[in-house]
Each structure stands twice: as C-alpha cells, then as structure tokens.
Structure 1
Amino acid sequence: MIHRTLARVVRGLGLALVIGLGNAHSAEIRIGQVAPYSGPLAPTGKHVGAGIQLYFDVVNARGGINGNTLRLVTRDDAYKSDETVKQVGELVAAENPLALCGLVGTGNVTALLKSGKLDQAGIPVVGARTGAAHLRQPVPSLLFHTRASYGSEIETMVQQMQSMGITDVGVFYQDDGFGKDGLEAAKTALAAAGMKLVAAGAYPKNTTDVAAAVKAIGDALPMGVIMVSNTAASAAFVEAFRPANPATQLIALSVTDGPQVAEKIGHKLARGLGVTQVVPDPVGGSGALAQEVRKAWEEHPQPGVELNHSLLEGYLMAKVLVEAIGHAGAEPTRARLVTALNNLHGFDVGGVPIGFSADNHDGAHYTELTVLDRNGRPIK
C-alpha cells in the first residue's frame, strides 16, 4: 500500500521532478523559432518568441530540464512562405535544434510541410500560430498544435452573433490558404446556425489593401462581419469600414491583436471590436496560467514587448514543449521527443487542457470571446 501511494505521488509531481535536477550529461538544448520579426506581422512573431523565452528563463533559473539548459534560436521569415522554408533549412543545419516552436502563418507552415524539410530532419514543430483545418487532418506526423482551430473560433463567433439576433453576415479574409480556410469554416458554421453569408471580401497577403473588400462587404449591408485577417489588415478594415457602418458587429480571429488595432486606429474607433482568444487574458485573467505568467513576467521581464495574448500563447507553447522534453530522457533526441509528445495526454496548462496521441495532434480547444473596451483593452 505504501509503495502504491508513493508511486502515485511521484507520478503526480510529473515534470517538477526533472526540472532543476542535475545530471552527468548536462548540456544546452537548442530550440528554433522561424517567424516574422519584420514586416506586418513582426509584433506577433516577437511576442510569441518572447513568451517562449520567458518560460525558458523560468526553467533555466530552476536549473534547467534534466540538468540541461534551454536556448531559443530565432530567424526572421518576414511572414514570407519561401523564407520560412529557407530559414528553417538554414537554422536546422547551423544550430541542430531539438525542435521548432512558435512558427507563424498558415501558408508558411503549409509550405514548410510540403518542402519535406521536417521529414528529412525528423524534427517536430510544437506550437504554430495557425488554426487551419488542412494542417490538422490528415494528421501531420511532426506538427503538434497547441491552439484551437479556426473552425472552433468561428463557431464561437457565430454563436455570439446568433445570440445577438444577427442573421446576415459578411466575411473579410486574407486571400491565401489561411483566409480561405476561415471562409470555408464560416460558411459551414453559418449554415449550421441558419444564418446567411451575404458578402465576402479579400485582401492580398502581406498588405493592407482593403478598399475592395470594404466596398464589397459594405454594399451588402451585413449585420455582422467575421474577420479572418491579421492585425495590420484588421486595423485597416475597421478604420475604413466602421464610419459608414457603425452598427455592424465586427469580430476578428485571435490572430488579430486587439490592443494593437486600438493603438493604430484610436480607442474610440476600435471600441466594441470583438476578438476571439485561444488563451486566457494574461493581464486581467484570474486563472492559474494567467497568474503564473504574470509572476514569471515580474521575475524575468522581456525587453521590447508587452504582456499580451500572443506572448502568453508562446509561453504555453514552451510549457508543452518542455513537458515533453522532460519525458524524453536526460539526453533527448528528436525521435524520443516525438514519442513523448504522442504520449502527452491530459496535460493541464493552468486551466488550458492539452493532449496528443499518434492519431491526433489537434491538442487544444480553448476559446473565449473578448471585446475591446474604451481603453483598447480586451474584456470578457
């Protein structure tokens, strides 16, 4: 009985037993991030990277993982798919990272998978800033998702619009795989709710050329608009669309940073913009993960960024990755890490459950809806 009780206690301690324990084979574990550090999505790449680094700082301050320290190595792809492929190849060859973490962009990740570079190196990606359905099914063997799908986010949007009595909806989307995935998800969710898609308008990737989309959607007089767009384009759309359509409810995917929109176009114009989220509020949230990241932020402040949802998403990605590394042995390899990830079941990241298996890498389903207040802050 004593032995069984002790075994349960040891299992319950989990990663706490391996973080901070030294060993004879202590070394540096390198993790790679290829993401936009320049261009329109630079704030996203930087904040996701800062969140990863923040958790690495926490772990390293405790003595590392199985005695190994963690180092994040970054490369800038400027949100260009061909650069993602190129930079990943160069980073893997030069730095020999154990894994990749914090990639950004549906088209970017799609191009990387198609290039075969992940398979050639046998290197896993833990956490990517994409919710596209085609990157979840069929199951990609080396891509592990730590955020809810765009389909889940859009279902949350549609449920909210339906509760408000909205029946006619437009979709503003990026003209690439990301945007088209969201458009299809919107069509499915609206049809299931008995609501109508009355207009759709697109803008080219890596631009804020929204005029044509504003006209196409505005002419249809929708009661609500689903925004499948990044922060810069979302800001441009709201700024151009809202003056003539003040009563239309706008709700954007989590890839839009609401406070940055408010900063770009002013708090008054941004007030009331809905934004779905895939992690809790790091500033005002009362849950365990939000409290943890605030404490980490106080102890290990990151330069040039703010504590926001994107940073917390990177922090969550890093926690999942480190948990798996802890189960991959004192001298982890890429193959051992993949096995550990496939056996990571029911991992509670401070109220956000994460779990994978060999036939399911869609590891997270947390969503919530926020709205920008008069100060440009997202509130529930």
Structure 2
Amino acid sequence: MRLTVWLRAALASLLAVLAATASADIVIAQVAAFSGPLAPTGTHMRAGAQLLFDAVNAEGGVHGARIRLLSADDGYKTEETVRLAREMLRSEQPLAFIGFVGTGNVEAMLDQKVLAEAGIPLIAVRSGAETLVRRNDPFLFMTRASYAEEIDKITDQYATTGYKRFAVLYQDDAFGKGALASARESIQKAGGSLVAEAGYEKNTTNVAAAVKTIAAAQPQAVILIANTAASAEFLQQSRAAGNLAQYVALSVTDAAQVVQKIGADKAEGLALTQVVPDPNSHTVPLIREIQHNFRKFKPKDVTLNHTFVEGYLGAKVLVEALRRAGPEPTRRKLRDTLEGLSQHDFGGVFISFSPRRHAGSRFVDITILNRSGKLLR
C-alpha cells in the first residue's frame, strides 16, 4: 500500500516536472540601439522579431514552449553592447541572441569572446560587413547579404549605364571602413574610378566637410555607406550645394525615415539597396505572411519597412532551427541545427548555412524614391 502511494506521488511529481519543462519560456535576448541616431533601426528589428514570436506563441509556441524576447539598449555604443550582453547572460540565461545592430558592436562581441565563452549563437545581426563574413565565426549566423554584395550590385548596374566617376561617403568606423574597402575593389572591377572618399564620425551627422570634398570631385554617382540620419543630412546638404550626382545608399539607410527627415522633394531620386523583399509586395509569400500578422497583432509605433522585415526573417530562421532542434534545446544543439540549415525557403527568400559559410543570404535588390516619397523598383 505504501509502495503504491509512493509510486503515485513520484509519478505526479514527474508529470509536474515534465509539464513545467514543456511550458517553460524560451528566452531570446537582444542588445541593440533603442536610443540615439540608430534607435529606429533597433526598434524595427525588435518589432519584426516580436511579431513572428507573437504569431508562433499564438499557435502554441515551439514544442509547447512560448518564446520570450528581452531587449536592452546599448545606444549604438560598442562597450555597452558587450557589457549588456554579459549582464543578460548572467541574469536571464537566454538560449540565443538576435538582432544586434552595428559592425563594430558585433565585432567587439567576437573579439571579447562573449559568444564563444557562453557557447551561445547570435542570429540576424544588422550588419553585412565583409570582415564578419570572412571571419565565419562558429556562433554568428547572418541572414542578410554582405555589404560587398550590395556594392557590387550598385557598381554593376551603374557602370553598365555609363557611370564611371564614383565617390563614397563612409562612416569612420569598422562598418564604414570595411565597406569602403569593398567599394574601392568593386569600382575598379567595374571599370570605374573612385574620385573622392570622405568620412564622418560615428553616432553623428557631421557631414559638412564630406559634402564639400565630394562635391568638389564632381562624381556621377555617390555611394552612401552611412546610417539613416547621416545619409539624410548628407543628401540634403549636397542638394543644397548643387551637387547633381546620383546618390545610392546601402540597406542600412531607411528610405521612409529619410523622407520624414528631409521631405519627399529632397529625397526624390535617392536609390537604395535592399536585402529583403519589398514590404508592400503582394506576390512574395514571406511578405504576405508578414502583412497578415501585422494586421492581426497590430504592432504599435512602428511601420512595416525593410528593417521590420529583416527582423521578422531573422526570427523566422531562429524558430525553424528551434523546431528542428526538438524539445528542451540547448545552445549547442541550436547552434549545430542552424549550421545544418541548407537552402531553406522562407517564403521566397532562401537561407543556407554550412560549416564553411555562416552568411546565409545573397538577396540584393535596388529601389529608388519617387517624388511622392514612395519606393519603386
């Protein structure tokens, strides 16, 4: 009799433990800029990821576990990225990181071995730096094309239409200098010449000197390796100075925010590369899914832009890996599962990782702002 009672108690305890385990949250952490000039970038990356997690949680989560996203603001400051990431590792014990913003910020995470020491994967960073691609860190998984691939798209398209004289505005840090090196190589390969290059200080919009340097060189096309605020300020001052060159910004510049900052009349004609499909598309399955969930869950204080799509896609990659990793995933199992994700169709965007390549996407498109402030392909 006592044995039967003991067995029943033991079974009840076991079932309680299993139920608690099955319903335990999967904690995912993000450290990004939610203040300062890149606040809209961090905010939209987070909102995109959260929308996907909301949709998954509404359907019962992953193997019965809900996904909980925690975020911390680094103000786009490298030392804060590292400090906050370590703090979150201690206090929250996340299974994975997602959506960090900035080349230098991510490089610091790798240089200081934050990921390696914790054995934690970082998915979908807001950087396409060739230095990160070549590094192929075992814990970093990139879900966007590289800046080098974006620049190749620009130089190929404009060189074939007769543009030969290029100039480059670049952010004076790891992000800008790395992409500048790619631009030098790409322009030469396309048969063009780099007639001017000018930098500006990170976390500022101090571009007046760069405007003068580039205008004096009379380029036909100017490649903007800059954040949104700096790109907008540079474009406005350059137009005021009478520089009639074609301006082409990398995907880190958000078109809608440029229009908001300087007006559609001054933004008209700005071309931008994109590393995800058009958020207004009605033909791409991924975008239709996002539009449906956006209407259903109604995120506040954000717009459905390319950065939002990038955050959603990164979260979708993470969830697919979580599903494949099975119940009670570990950081190591999740990392290994991500690395084995090959040529997976996420709704018109293919992501493919391997031990030799952790840059999973090569999607690049070029869009241009019209006089109404709308993006056209």
**How many angstroms does 1:338 deviate by?**
0.6
**Does residue 114 of structure 2 align to residue 82 of structure 1?**
no
Match of 1:62 in 2: 59
Match of 1:341 in 2: 338
- Per-residue CA deviation, residues 74-98 of structure 1 (Å, 9 max, x unaligned), is 0000000000001101111111110
Match of 1:113 in 2: 110
What is the number of equivalent residue pairs in this alignment? 359
- Per-residue CA deviation, residues 211-245 of structure 1 (Å, 9 max, x unaligned), is 11111111000000001000000001000012334
Give the counterpart of 1:26 among 15, 23, 26. Answer: 23
Match of 1:37 in 2: 34
Tell me the amino acid that sits aligned with residue 357 of structure 2: N
Tell me the amino acid that sits aligned with residue 230 of structure 2: A
The 3-state SS of whatever aligns with 2:51 is helix
Tell me the amino acid that sits aligned with residue 74 of structure 2: D
Give the counterpart of 2:267 among 266, 270, 273. Answer: 270
Conserved in 2, the CA contact under 8 Å of 1:267 and 1:376?
Answer: yes
Match of 1:298 in 2: 295
**How many angstroms does 1:247 deviate by?**
2.7
Give the counterpart of 1:326 among 323, 327, 335. Answer: 323
Alignment RMSD, CA only?
1.2
CA distance, structure 2, for counterparts of residue 331 and residue 99 of structure 1: 13
Seen in structure 2, the aligned counterparts of structure 1 residues 325 and 63 have a Cα distance that, compared at 3 Å, is: same
Match of 1:195 in 2: 192
TM-score, normalization by structure 1:
0.93
The 3-state SS of whatever aligns with 1:43 is helix
Of 237-246 and 315-324, deviating more is 237-246
**Does residue 172 of structure 2 align to residue 179 of structure 1?**
no
Conserved in 2, the CA contact under 8 Å of 1:168 and 1:223?
Answer: yes
**How many angstroms does 1:159 deviate by?**
1.6
Conserved in 1, the CA contact under 8 Å of 2:129 and 2:146?
Answer: yes
CA distance, structure 2, for counterparts of residue 104 and residue 245 of structure 1: 34
Conserved in 2, the CA contact under 8 Å of 1:154 and 1:185?
Answer: yes
TM-score, normalization by structure 2:
0.93
Conserved in 2, the CA contact under 8 Å of 1:35 and 1:84?
Answer: yes
Identity percentage of aligned residues = 48
Conserved in 2, the CA contact under 8 Å of 1:259 and 1:372?
Answer: no
**Structure ID, larger Rg:** 2
Q: Which runs of 4+ in 1 moved over 6 A?
A: none
The 3-state SS of whatever aligns with 2:212 is helix
Match of 1:19 in 2: none
Of 156-165 and 94-103, deviating more is 156-165
Unaligned 5+ residue runs, structure 1? Answer: 1-21
Conserved in 1, the CA contact under 8 Å of 2:148 and 2:179?
Answer: yes
Conserved in 1, the CA contact under 8 Å of 2:268 and 2:371?
Answer: yes
Question: For residues 141-290 of structure 1, what are the structure 2 equivalents within 5 Å?
Answer: 141-290=138-287
Seen in structure 2, the aligned counterparts of structure 1 residues 24 and 103 have a Cα distance that, compared at 3 Å, is: closer
The 3-state SS of whatever aligns with 2:373 is coil
CA distance, structure 2, for counterparts of residue 245 and residue 112 of structure 1: 42
Conserved in 2, the CA contact under 8 Å of 1:23 and 1:67?
Answer: no
Of 131-140 and 38-47, deviating more is 131-140
Unaligned 5+ residue runs, structure 2? Answer: 1-18
